[in-house]
Amino acid sequence: MTDAARYLPSLAYLVPSLLVALYAVRGSPPHSNVLPAPADRGLDSLPPNSRVREIYPENWLEGGGYVTLPLGRVRYWIVGPENGKKVVLIHGLTTPALAFARIVPLLVAANFRVMVYDLYGRGYSDAPRTAPYDTNMYVTQLALLLQHVGWDKTRLVGYSMGGAIAAAFVATFPNLVEKDVGLIASAGAGEKGIPLTSYRHFALARWIVFQGFLRRITKGRSTAVELPPASEIAPLQAASLPGYSRAVASSLHEGPIVRMRWAFHSDNWKGRRVMFIFGTNDSVVKPADVTTLRNTLKEHADPDVRVVDVAGAGHDVVVTHAPLLGAALVEFFEDKVKYV
């Protein structure tokens, strides 16, 4: 046997390992300080007759537009009377601003000035390629958006991951937030991450993470109420937008999903009014998680906390029980009803 032949068995083991390592390096885009950051386009890059844009048309609300921020373009909409009380609605992990389609008209009818927007990597907003989808990304996105539209202060309503973003925003930019904050099925109570999210740069890992979370979301949906076509939008985004699964997987690993109790432990909650809304059958954000966040607030900052538990509702409470939520938010912001 020649000297070279002796090394062939070792090479048989070494080459696959090197290929895997090379894939890992290539599949993990390095964080970059180049601005504007490289990004994948949102739904505006697709044909208008594509299924996802038929469900979620760019003009589903009038007003608003695009703004180019350091990490990419952001799509937002502003509706309601110009002199109305300002409210920003922050959507969750998988569904863009369309999640609030049934709630926005209720707030506008009550003379609120409402802004909704797509988080990075969802809907019509760009998906940054080299930045982590962490709390800093989302908090900065909202702060710059408020600066762009000229809003000095606003009420906040956050749904699911949007609730944790709202909490982090209060903790970070308290002077930009009015006294009242609404948290709907708010994430942030968990302390453990989701398996495989540390391998989020692998396409297969992203697919597994997304499919697993999608099954969890689907399982948590209510069955007593017919859901609109918007319930299809998560898998359609995954199939149509190159940056969507990356945004979801990175948010699960690095973003405001778990390990967010610090935001609810901030002194900046003192003197505020906070309303928690949750579905009693929510299997994604469980009622016990809401209790944990509520207790965290009460024990540290002791704000005025009100609670609305929606009997039988799942995680899609913003869709299935929109009239109830809309009425609760209006009454809360106008301080007409005391919830306990």
CATH code of the domain containing 328: 3.40.50.1820
Number of domains in the chain: 1
pLDDT of residue 195: 53
Supply the range of the domain harboring residue 288. 47-333
pLDDT of residue 249: 87
Report the relative pairing of strands 127-128 and 154-159 from DSSP bridges: unpaired
Is 242 contained in some domain? yes
pLDDT of residue 38: 92
Interatomic CA distance for residues 121 and 72, integer angstroms: 10
Interatomic CA distance for residues 181 and 44, integer angstroms: 31
Is 165 contained in some domain? yes
Q: What is the DSSP letter of 110?
A: T
Is 77 contained in some domain? yes
pTM of the model: 0.84
How many other C-beta atoms lie within 10 A of the C-beta of residue 36?
A: 13
pLDDT of residue 15: 43
Is 100 contained in some domain? yes
pLDDT of residue 136: 97
Interatomic CA distance for residues 91 and 157, integer angstroms: 9
Is 256 contained in some domain? yes
Is 149 contained in some domain? yes
Is 34 contained in some domain? no
Instruction: Give pLDDT < 50 ranges for the chain.
Output: 11, 13, 15-28, 196-197, 199-200, 224-225, 227, 339-340
Is 38 contained in some domain? no
